[in-house]
Structure 1
Amino acid sequence: MVLGSARGKVYFYLLFLLVATFIGKTTASLGDHLPDFKECVKICQSENCQDGNTALPFHLRLLLWTCPAECDYTCQHVVTDRRVALCWTFSMLFHTRDFPLTEKLDYFGAGANVMYGLYLAVIRIFRLDQEDPRYKPTLRRLLTAVCLILYTLHVCYLSFWSWDYTYNMIANIVIGMTQNVLWTAWGIIRYRKTNRFWTVWPALIVVWIILAMSLELLDFAPWKGLIDAHSLWHLGTVIPAAWWYLFLVKDIQDDVTGIRLKT
């Protein structure tokens, strides 16, 4: 029994060492390593940062922004906008002409958008973007892996097992409602703590989205063959999308201000 226990420990340590060889230290998110992001930053700095911070507007220099930092921030939006645009491009193509390919791109793009929304909600609300405490980076990597695996299984099920419209709708509603609950709770809690109205915007946006989503669930025949519940659902998402962007800007500004006050 003692010999068997000793062998078990040896195998465990060997397995641990094998796994440890694949673990590397990281100081940046995956997005910082994207080739197009690094190329964007390189071009921006070479074209705008040769003479120090002279290319920056006065209000940015007043807030202690540097030219390299502004290039990094700008390129984050450039690279992210390209990927977000794909979701809406696929949706536009599908609604323009319904082919099997455009339908799949629309559904998979929408699913990726919804899953990323949940991923962002968990990262932001529980501050998994921070490096301290030390367990947060591990949780962030675990969350990333779980979301990627769930999305991959979702796509594989629809592609190779069954193109199930009911399942697809339920899956997106469950993921969407989960992030809605998270943002609503976060908004209410933050508003009670800070008494700043913009902190409750996520909860109000969620209410708007739920009302608009009811058009998807309570369908009706197209009015004069042109306007149906689905088209009105898309129309109803325009304002909350812009509103959500304004909230993200406010949240980032508040976060940056808090960090600078601490330093």
Structure 2
Amino acid sequence: MAGRAARLVLLAGAAALASGSQGDREPVYRDCVLRCEERNCSGGALRHFRSRQPIYMILAGWTCHDDCKYECMWVTVDMYLQYGHRVPQFHGKWPFSRFLFFQEPASALASFLNGLASLMMLYRYRTSVPASSPMYHTCVAFAWVSLNAWFWSTVFHTRDTDLTEKMDYFCASTVILHSVYLCCVRTVGLQYPAVARAFRAFLLLLLTTHVSYLSLVHFDYGYNLAANVAFGLVNVVWWLTWCLRNHRRLPHVRKCVVVVLLLQGLSLLELLDFPPFFWVLDAHAIWHISTIPVHILFFSFLEDDSLYLLKESEAKFKLA
């Protein structure tokens, strides 16, 4: 929900620096990469590199050029530490110790666990909530959108490329907008289905325009930041307003309040920007880990609310 927006704010800000961080501007790093590529990434040396490269690295898309950047990153980090300087960033990111083919092992694992938690809660929701519940299909669709977003988040942290970065951003935007739609259906759409359908068409057009501009015209990190902040603010304000108006009448709504407030509070972890502990665990990974129980709580709210709506609709049918 809102936490995705907070994450995008900080990711977009970091990505905007990707064209020139301190580490990759360092002459030692640039010279090291140049020499490594000349020595290893052409002719017989390249064939030798490929022959000894593990199959899992090949399948993950790691190239000789990538390997040179990785090795030279650590050469530069060692030089900085030797002279008592702060650890530099490279291409907008802290240096991470690669595990197998995982570029950011902790964040990749945390994203996978978030996806696994979402899958488990989707199974629980579909098991406990009948399809006749008014919110059933909307909630199931939201769960699948969330699963897709966590899949691409896992892939992005496993292997950071232009494609995986964009898919991570686009899926995160989709989750936020779908949460806005979910809120619209819950607060307005059940009474006025035509309004919900029109709003869904508007959100689809908005998402299509957003993704098309970033994909076909220019991937503008500043625009992406502003757009997702706006989406996130609408999401937070709408959900929180509805929750505060109904928390006394509907006790389970308090779960939603806790989710919104926790996601906003936990997003502050991203502000604690520091070199990763043991070159693996950074603030972003900690944030990902902390969101796992929050997503479980949100799906628990959706389950309770859907069962409440089903009971309410059955009561109205009997009265009729």
Query: TM-score, normalized by length of structure 2?
Result: 0.53
Matching residue within 154, 161, 164 for 2:217: 161
Deviations 1:139-159 (A, max 9, x none): 222201210111111112211
**Cα distance, 1:186 vs structure 2:** 1.3
Residue aligning to 1:236: 290
Structure 2 counterpart of 1:138, from 176, 181, 194: 194
The 3 A distance-change label for structure 1 pair 161 and 176 is: same
Give how far 1:108 is off: 1.1
Amino acid of the residue matched to residue 158 of structure 1?
A: L
Give percent identity, aligned residues only.
32
Counterpart of 1:118? 180
1:95 aligns with one of 146, 151, 157: 157
Residue aligned with 1:224, SS: coil
Residue 205 of structure 1 corresponds to: 259
Supply the AA of the counterpart residue of 1:181: V
- Give the aligned partner of residue 78 of structure 2: none
Tell me, in whole angstroms, the C-alpha distance in 2 between the residues paired with 1:257 and 1:155.
Answer: 39
Match of 2:120 in 1: none
Q: 1:238 to 1:145 in 2, by over 3 A?
A: same
Deviations 1:209-244 (A, max 9, x none): 001112234433323322112112211211110000
Give the equivalent residue in structure 1 for 2:273: 219
The structural deviation recorded for 1:79 is 6.9
Q: Which amino acid aligns with 2:187?
A: I
The structure, 1 or 2, with the larger RCO (C-alpha pairs under 8 Å, 6+ apart) is 2
Work out the CA distance in 1 between the residues paired with 2:235 and 2:142: 20
The one-letter amino acid of 2:178's match is Y
Give 1:140's aligned amino acid. Answer: A
The code of the aligned residue for 2:308 comes to D
- Using a 3 Å threshold, how does the CA distance of structure 1 residues 155 and 242 change in structure 2: closer, same or farther? same
> Unaligned stretches of 5+ in structure 2?
1-127
Q: Which residue of 2 is the match for residue 105 of structure 1?
A: 167
1:142–1:97 Cα change, 3 Å = same
Paired position in structure 2 for 1:51: none
In 1, Cα distance between equivalents of 2:215 and 2:205: 15
CA distance in 1, matches of 2:174, 2:310: 28
Between the two proteins, the alignment pairs up a number of residues equal to 188
Q: CA deviation at 1:173?
A: 2.6
Task: Output one character per residue of 1:7-46: Cα deviation in whole Å (capped at 9) or x when no partner.
Answer: xxxxxxxxxxxxxxxxxxxxxxxxxxxxxxxxxxxxxxxx
Correspondence 1:177 to 2:233: yes
What amino acid does structure 1 have at the position aligned with 2:182? Answer: L
Q: Tell me by how many angstroms 1:101 deviates.
A: 1.4
Contact kept, 8 Å, 2:142 with 2:179, in 1: the verdict is no
Q: Secondary structure at the match of 1:225?
A: coil
1:244 & 1:93 partners in 2: Cα distance? 24
Q: Give 1:75 deviation, angstroms.
A: 8.8
Q: Distance in 1 between matches of 2:275 and 2:246?
A: 42
Deviation at 1:247, TM superposition (A): 0.4
Measured in 1, the distance between the counterparts of 2:264 and 2:137 equals 33
- What letter corresponds to residue 129 of structure 1 in structure 2? L
